[in-house]
Amino acid sequence: MLDQIKDKKLEELNANLAGLNKKLGNMWFALGKGLLTGFGSVIGAGLAVILIGWFLNVIGVIPALRESANDWREAFRSTQNFLPTDSTATPTPTQQ
């Protein structure tokens, strides 16, 4: 009689575990879904901040952004003077 009760409880436990496995699904799938959701949230938030900043800069609400953008443009233009434009611009050892 005791063995029958143990067998019955064991079968109930196996049925419960099988039901949990069906509800939870594959843990690797859940991990991948969570990672992609987090990555998408970060990209979306970054894109929203960029678009809001651009819009506010266009309508002139944030003049400090315009000044810093001009500073960055000037810095990039000044570094272009240091880079050769083509391969003939670099001196060869015989020309030195």
DSSP per-residue letters across the chain: -HHHHHHHHHHHHHHHHHHHHHHH--HHHHHHHHHHHHHHHHHHHHHHHHHHHHHHHHHTS-HHHHHHHHHHHHHHHHHHTTS-SSGGGSPPTTT-
pLDDT (average), residues 16-44: 84
* 50-81 pLDDT, tens digit each: 999 888 877 777 776 677 778 888 888 888 77
Largest CA distance in the chain: 103
Q: What is the mean pLDDT of the chain?
A: 79
What distances in angstroms separate CA 66 from CA 51, 78, 80, one per listed residue? 15, 18, 21
